[in-house]
Amino acid sequence: MKKNIFKKAFIRISKLMGFELIDQNEFYSPTLNKEINENLTNLNKSIVFPLGEVELSRKVSSLMIIFRCNTNIDIWDQNKKRIFEKNKIEYTLRSLNSLIRAINYFKKNESLNIKLFILDNGSDKKDIKEISDLVDKNKVDYELIIHENNDFKSFIKEQKTEQTFSNLSSLLKCFKLAKEKSDDLIFFVEDDYLHFETLIEEMINTYERISSQLKRDLFICPSDYPYLYMNNQKTNILIGNKRHWRIVDKSLCTFLTSKKLIEQYWSNFEETCKDRHEPFEKKINEIYKKEFCISPIQSLSVHFTNVNSSYGLSPFVDYKSLWDANSLKND
């Protein structure tokens, strides 16, 4: 009995002093009241067993998600077929559904303010209604924006195809929306990525942890692209919330960053949309020479494009299971 009283007192004192205890025999933390294989991160600390804790000096205050879609274009500037070879609306709906599931999974345990913006650029009215119905059914805080390409006709240079101009125009609208309406983090999402449920949780917790360690804001690319394994490029590996992350020097247009970095590198974001570059993201990739961009190992988001694309399907993923899990027929 004396032993139990002493143990309880020791646990209480440890908590008051900000220490965490590990009972390796029971694989349990009495101060956190959690098993060691659970998420040990709390409001003030990022805890990864057995590496210990990181004091969180960079807390995320809000998340704006901008989902950019067009169900009438299969793949920008390409005639290739996607994996499973379905109509584009099927990819858009499953992509959005997986994103909503990730938002709801995160909100089970967190109270972060999350606002979803859906920016459509050319989908049929029938498809737009399906998109709206999906979000309405899941009671997510969102706003639907129908973008007109002519809004930026005087800024964007004339392009070889209407598709390319449309892509540049809608992307610029997303960047401007982020600059004008965001408060903290922004997640730019294209409509052909399917996401795992832990996406938002892992990105937010990892952002807080690594940004606190580096003492600077950063970029997160949620996909583990095939190209990362094709040239034996050296990198640095970091510890996130529940997985490893590597530093990368390229991304596509699905990435997360802060309003601070959007404003700091606004000329790069504008130049990205002023004309078609080679590669398309050239001006964004130039930022990564000065700032950190990290990508997860394994992937949190999978780019459901053609099977031969080096910026497509992530390795070691059960694509069929992820695809089936986000069918609206399952809801």
Residues 77 and 215 in one domain: yes
More confident residue, 79 or 177: 177
Can you give the pLDDT at residue 26? 57
Confidence label for 185 from pLDDT (cuts 50, 70 and 90): very high
Lowest mean pLDDT of 5-9, 173-177, 300-304, name the range.
5-9
The answer to whether residues 24 and 113 belong to one domain is no
Q: Please report which confidence band the pLDDT of residue 20 belongs to, taking 50, 70 and 90 as the band edges.
A: low
Looking at the domain assignment, is residue 145 inside a domain?
yes
Residue 75 shares a structural domain with residue 11: no
Q: Has residue 44 been placed in a domain?
A: no
Residues 149 and 226 in one domain: yes
pLDDT over 90 (residue 330): no
**Quick one: pLDDT at residue 15?**
62
Worst-scoring range by mean pLDDT, 44-48, 119-123, 146-150? 44-48
Percentage above 70 pLDDT, the chain: 85
Say what the pTM is. Answer: 0.89
pLDDT at 17: 64
Q: What pLDDT is recorded for position 257?
A: 98
pLDDT at 43 over 60: no
Confidence of residue 283 (pLDDT cuts 50, 70, 90): very high
More confident residue, 42 or 134: 134
pLDDT tens digits for range 127-146:
999 999 999 999 899 999 99
Q: Is residue 48 part of a domain?
A: no
Residue 51 lies in a domain: no
What whole-number percentage of the chain has pLDDT above 90?
Answer: 75
pLDDT at 29 over 80: no
What is the three-state SS of the chain?
A: CHHHHHHHHHHHHHHHCCCCCCECCCCEECCCCEECCCCCCCCCEEEECCCEEEECCCCCCEEEEEEEECCCCCCCCCCCCCCCCCCHHHHHHHHHHHHHHHHHHHHCCCCCEEEEEEEECCCCHHHHHHHHHHHHHHCCCEEEEECCHHHHCCCCCCCCCHHHHHHHHHHHHHHHHHHHHCCCEEEEEECCEEECCCHHHHHHHHHHHHHHHHCCCCEECCCCCHHHHCCCCCCCEEECCCCEEEECCCCCCCEEEEHHHHHHCHHHHHHHHHCCCCCCCHHHHHHCCCCCEEEEECCCEEECCCCCCCCCCCCCCCHHHHHHHCCHHHC
Per-residue pLDDT of 74-129, as tens digits, reads 876 667 889 999 999 999 999 999 999 999 999 998 889 999 999 999 999 999 99
| Same domain assignment for residues 130 and 27 | no
Residues 80 and 175 in one domain: yes
Q: Are residues 120 and 255 in the same domain?
A: yes
Mean pLDDT of the 177-193 span: 98
Residue 144 lies in a domain: yes
What total of structural domains would you count in the chain?
A: 2
Mean pLDDT over 53-71 rounds to: 94
Residue 189 lies in a domain: yes
CA triplet 170, 172, 177: central angle to 5 degrees? 95
Kindly state whether residue 238 falls inside one of the protein's structural domains: yes
Q: Is residue 46 part of a domain?
A: no
Residue 42 has a pLDDT of 63
Q: What mean pLDDT do residues 293-305 have?
A: 97
Q: What is the pLDDT of residue 223?
A: 98
Residue 161's domain comprises: 62-330
pLDDT above 90 for 194: yes
Mean pLDDT, the chain, rounded, equals: 90
Co-location of 21 and 81 in the same domain: no
Amino acid in the structure at residue 242: K
